[in-house]
Amino acid sequence: MSAKAAVMPGGVGYTVDLDEETEALARKSPAGPLLDVHVDAKGTWVFLPVFTFNIGRGVTQAKAKANITKTFNEGWMSPKWAPKVKVPGIKGYVEIDEADAAREHDILEALVRKGAVTDNAEHRAMLDQARKRNRMRTNFGGFAQATPVGVPEPWSIEDVIVTLTTKGKAKVSPHRVCVQVEIKHPAMDKSVWILNGHYPYKWPEGWNACQEKWSEIAGKHQDASHTMFLTRDINQHERMPKVVRSEVMCTQGIDRVSFVPGEVAVKKVPAPRGRKTINLTIDGHDGEGVGFLLAA
pLDDT tens-digit map of 133-172: 434 577 889 988 999 999 988 899 999 999 999 998 988 9
Q: Containing domain of residue 165, as a range?
A: 3-295
| The pLDDT of residue 135 | 44
Torsion sign across C-alpha atoms 183, 199, 162, 71: negative
Domain count, the chain: 1
What's the predicted TM-score (pTM) here?
A: 0.83
Distance CA 139, CA 90 (A): 10
Which of 140, 132, 152, 134 is CA-nearest to residue 179? Answer: 140
- Judge whether residue 215 has pLDDT over 80: yes
Quick one: which H or E segment has residue 116?
none
What CATH number has the domain bearing residue 159? Answer: 3.60.10.10
Least Cα distance to 46 among 219, 229, 225 occurs for 229
Per-residue pLDDT band at 101 (split at 50, 70, 90): low
**Tens digit of pLDDT for each residue in 172-185?**
999 999 999 999 99
Among 155-164, 254-263, 281-290, the minimum mean pLDDT is found in: 281-290
Q: Please tell me the predicted confidence (pLDDT) of residue 208.
A: 96
Non-local CB neighbours of 101 within 8 Å, separated by 6+ positions:
58, 60, 61
What gap in Å lies between CA 226 and CA 52, rounded to an integer? 20
Q: Which tops the pLDDT comparison, 205 or 102?
A: 205
